[in-house]
Amino acid sequence: MSGDGTVLLTVLLRHDQSQNLDQIQSTLGERAWWERFPPGDAEIVSWVVAMGIGQIVTLRLPADQINLVNVELERSAWGVFRTEFYPTYDFVPVRERLAREWRGSQAGGGEPGRDGTARAVDSEEVAGPPRPGMFSNAKVVGDRFSLSGMHAGDGRGGVLGDGSAYDQTRRALTKVKALVEAAGGVMDDVQNLRVYLTDIQDKGEVGRARTEFFTGDFPCSTLVEVSALVEPGLTVEIEAEGVIGSAPRT
């Protein structure tokens, strides 16, 4: 399960070869298949045809709605497809972290950061500093990580999104999430947040966005009003610290 409470679910729809294409499409049409599936809040991540086998669908959905997918397949797909289910997860961030750690061990004779030395962490989803040597986006020492302030800046002096406090908070926390995962953690490993606001009245919008990124016990948090942030138009900046592996894994 990801930090936002969603899961990936891969469904193999094996064709019933006793029916031809016209029969299959007719049955699916009668059952309103194309409108009913996927149900609920499920989103299609990919949908491909494997010739000679059938169709392979990967969905992203809230964990508590897996039953809706199962019921809809029983209602609409059975008799046309034979179904198989495979809960999956996105291995790409993990693979990238393992590759970085392996390269570091080859260069330095051990996993950087695990022996008490600091290692810098970056993510392709987060722009680096304007000039080399200004700062690190994130650092890890042992199992502890620290992140520089993240905000909705586009890296070119502008602001991404609609500029609202809610949207800026979501974009800042999305960058936090990318760096935490690059360090080998999950969002619930975050133990402390420091939130800087140019208008303290926006604290409710910050809180609303924050609930989309954490589950269980939320991290400790400090909220501070400041006169300005690094770029015009920025109203929210968020620092984070935490311990890799401190949150329960599902």
Question: Each residue of 14-62: pLDDT tens digit?
Answer: 988 888 889 989 999 999 999 999 999 999 999 999 988 899 999 999 9
- Residue 221 in this model has a pLDDT that exceeds 60: yes
Say whether 62 sits in a helix, a strand or coil: strand
Nearest to 231 by CA among 193, 179, 196, 203: 196
Higher pLDDT among residues 108 and 77, named by residue: 77
Average pLDDT of the chain to the nearest whole number: 87
Is pLDDT of 111 > 80?
no
Percent with pLDDT over 90 in the chain: 55
Q: What is the pLDDT of residues 169-218, one digit of tens each?
A: 999 999 999 999 999 899 999 999 999 999 999 999 999 999 999 987 89
Please return the burial class of 122, using the count of CB atoms within 10 Å of its CB with bins 0-12, 13-18 and 19+. middle
User: Residue 247 contacts by C-beta under 8 Å, 6 or more apart in sequence?
Assistant: 185, 186, 188, 189, 216
% of the chain beyond a pLDDT of 70: 90
Pick 91 or 146 by higher pLDDT.
146
Q: Residue 236: name the closest of 162, 138, 130 by CA.
A: 162
What is the pTM assigned to this prediction? 0.55
